[in-house]
Amino acid sequence: MKKWMALLLAVMMAFGQMAAVAEDIIPAYDHLVVGNTTAFSGHFSTQLWGNNTTDLDVKELLFGYNLIQWEQEEGLFNVDPSVVTGIVVYDDAEGNRTYSMVLADDLYYSDGSRITAWDYAFSVLLSVAPEIEAIGGNTNGYESLLGMEAYKNGEADTLAGLRVTSDTMISFTVAKEYRPFFYELGLLRCYALPISVIAPGCQVKDDGQGVYIDNTAGTFAPEALKETLLNAENGYVTYPKVTSGPYKLISYDGEVAEFEINEYYKGNAEGVVPTIQYLTYKTVENETMVDQLLAGELGLINKAVKTDSIMQGIAGVGTGAVYMGNYARIGYSFISYNCEKPAVSSQAVRQAIAYCLDKDTLVSDYVGNFGLRVDGYYGIGQWMYQMVNGTVEPPLEEPEESASRQEKQEYEEALLAWEEISMENIPVYNLDLEAAVKLLEGDGWTLNREGAAFDPAKDDVRCAKIGEEIVPLDLTLVYPEGNTIVDSLQTNFVDYLAQVGIKVTMEPVPMNDLLKQYYRQEPRDCDMMYLATNFDVVFDPTLNFVPADGEFVGSNYQAIEDSKLYELARDMSMTEPGDVLTYCQKWLAFQEYWAEVLPTIPVYSNAYFDFYTNTLQNYVITSAGTWSQAIVDAYLGDPAEEEEELLEDEEIELEEGEEIFEDW
């Protein structure tokens, strides 16, 4: 696996951030059209009702000034200096840690109104409010703040772990029970939301015991919030008109979103403001999007993953039509089990189903040489995967000659520990129908629909007696409507399942409806779901695997009941910040057990490719988290003459890169 990963990264570096001259594309200097194949779900202002990668990109455009930022190149969290002008950190006698922040006084919403510490406090209070849960929102954020459980349960009227003492002073206290936490500063990520729009007439107050919402106006109530947040015509979740990011939303119709520069945005952490006046973000099709780019109908294709589309885009680069950038995905595609369903509640059944997937062929069919199969809960762009896999050097500094014997010994021990780290013990499920049958028979799936012995020559599905009921392995798998992987799933998965006595019916579902089922916001009438996700940079799967009777309320989307999985996830997260070796060792232990329990079937992680017109300059996607962050630094203009000369050598590298892909 190390060799394969190293080769993929080498190929990506060979392609790099390429460019070529296009004489036939007419630049539009104030307007850029961006296309993405992932349909909107329309949750642009908050993740309380779930969202997908396209929605997250919109949120990055609309909401800025987060207190905490992820520094991509350094691989750590820090305060955003354009927002937080000072910070003091201290621990109390019990071990609770408080972060007191001084905020800048020149932060404004897109309507010109001032952003203060009270707006950040409102954002937190909204995200954990029982009133939000009453209208279907997921209120599992900020669990680490002191007093959160008491506040959410109604045992306390104020949130003790969040204090506001002036328009520019806010303090967060992380409870001792949540410490140590490897990504501790990341727990405090927060962007401002306008209470004047979401709960007009209400106020956030702090009388000395913590913040709370004064609901004298009566607008912070379920029915009122349902109207201001979820109204189909103008609800803030989908149509946020008062925002804080580099752009503001002009219109959205379900397939196309229009934006223009927010003139009140003072800039990102580096003080950069956008220069492209108008953006159009739209859903596009794999089969036609590169043609649209070449015809000038699109200016940027974001997150291309399908082999045919990528190769067509690369051909465009080779002929001098477009630029290109690529970057490793921090997520994966997967087949998610709904473990509350009787059949797939069995670990043996989940493993047997996994043995019926020809993963290598499916991955080759869909992403070709631009991705890798994965066998755990990770993406190839995650730093811990790359470090454990050996493609990124561990943070070890060789001691000087003058170092003490103990320092040298500690270095040698750490070096040996890193060398012993390996992913070889993560369970792997290659296509093996005999292994699948053995697991099913051992788990009691030996009957037919009538309760007699299963005969593979004449019976369609295996059954087992669960309680007093005969349960058939007659399953349903839903997938996003329009996803082109369905043909490969049929050939490389469903057909093999039939051979071992498992019937699977595949059904397309609109993405928005599919996400509602996945997030358990609506009843689920299927057994499995095909989806893809990108992990948060705060990789904390603890709440994803909280048992129903656990000490914390979680977001257990697979509805799997396994206390050991939860404990391993929690142990990983509760590593001292900076102790990278211990974190990676715990990450491996979690991955090994996760792959045994198998809440989902991991399929692939891949390289994303962005293709764009040569009039889009300084679009450095490789060092930004998303296109919506990279676009702030970019501008529209003609390529410089010296850049044209440089590109001749890059075209030669492209030809070499194509040969690597053909051989791989």
Q: What pLDDT is recorded for position 138?
A: 86
Q: Is the pLDDT of residue 630 over 90?
A: yes
Q: What pLDDT is recorded for position 554?
A: 55
Kindly list the distances between the CA atom of residue 133 and the CA atoms of 120, 225, 226, in Å, as whole numbers in the listed order: 20, 11, 11
Burial of 642 (0-12, 13-18, 19+ CB in 10 A): exposed
Query: Do strands 247-252 and 256-261 pair parallel, antiparallel, or not at all (unpaired)?
Result: antiparallel
Mean pLDDT of 367-372: 91
DSSP character at residue 493: I
Kindly list the distances between the CA atom of residue 175 and the CA atoms of 125, 181, 540, in Å, as whole numbers in the listed order: 17, 11, 17
Tokens of 336: 């998610």
Mean pLDDT of 577-599: 96
Tokens of 528: 């499995």
Tokens of 430: 């290659």
Q: What pLDDT is recorded for position 355?
A: 98
CA neighbor of 278 nearest in space, from 591, 30, 547: 30
Which residues are CB-neighbours of 353 under 8 A, at least 6 positions away?
A: 344, 436, 497, 502, 528, 601
Q: Is the pLDDT of residue 21 over 70?
A: no
Residue 17 pLDDT level (bands cut at 50, 70, 90): low
Would you call the peptide bond into 639 cis, given omega within 30 degrees of 0 as the criterion?
no
Q: What pLDDT is recorded for position 23?
A: 44
Q: Is the pLDDT of residue 155 over 80?
A: yes
Q: What pLDDT is recorded for position 13?
A: 45
Of 69-78, 141-150, 316-325, 599-608, the poorest mean pLDDT is in 69-78
Place of tokens 């019976």: 459
Residue 555 pLDDT level (bands cut at 50, 70, 90): confident
Q: Is the pLDDT of residue 659 over 80?
A: no
Mean pLDDT of 476-501: 95
Residue boundaries of the structural domains of the chain: 2-39+253-327+611-663, 53-246, 331-395+405-605
CB neighbours (10 Å) of residue 559? Answer: 16
pLDDT tens-digit map of 454-466:
999 999 999 999 9
Two domains, one topology: 2-39+253-327+611-663 and 53-246: no
Q: What pLDDT is recorded for position 10?
A: 45
Q: What pLDDT is recorded for position 552?
A: 47
pLDDT tens-digit map of 75-126:
678 999 999 999 999 999 999 999 999 999 999 999 999 999 999 999 999 9
Phi, psi of 469 (to 5 degrees): -110, 140
Query: Which own/partner contact pairs does 467-472 have at CB distance under 8 Å and 24+ positions apart?
Result: 469/342, 471/342, 471/343, 472/343, 472/503
Q: What pLDDT is recorded for position 321?
A: 73
Contact of 9 with 640, CB cutoff 8 Å: no
Residue 18 pLDDT level (bands cut at 50, 70, 90): low
State the average pLDDT for the chain: 89
Which residues are CB-neighbours of 57 under 8 A, at least 6 positions away?
A: 36, 281, 302, 626, 627, 628
Give the DSSP per-residue string, 600-651.
EEEEEEEEEEEEEETTEES--GGGSSSHHHHHHH-EE-PPPHHHHHHHHHHH
Of the chain, the end-to-end C-alpha distance in Å amounts to 13
DSSP character at residue 395: S
Phi, psi of 236 (to 5 degrees): -65, -25
- Gap between the Cα atoms of 296 and 281, Å rounded: 15
Contact of 414 with 396, CB cutoff 8 Å: yes
Which residues are CB-neighbours of 436 under 8 A, at least 6 positions away?
A: 352, 353, 355, 356, 500
Q: Is the pLDDT of residue 654 over 60?
A: no
Q: What pLDDT is recorded for position 70?
A: 84
CATH class of domain segment(s) 53-246? alpha beta
CA neighbor of 309 nearest in space, from 292, 296, 295, 297: 292
CATH class of domain segment(s) 331-395+405-605? alpha beta
Q: What pLDDT is recorded for position 454?
A: 97
Strand order in the sheet with 162-166: 84-91, 97-103, 169-174, 162-166
What is the reported pTM? 0.84
Q: What pLDDT is recorded for position 72?
A: 66
Q: Is the pLDDT of residue 285 over 90?
A: yes
Q: What pLDDT is recorded for position 643?
A: 47
CATH class of domain segment(s) 2-39+253-327+611-663? alpha beta
Q: What pLDDT is recorded for position 174?
A: 97
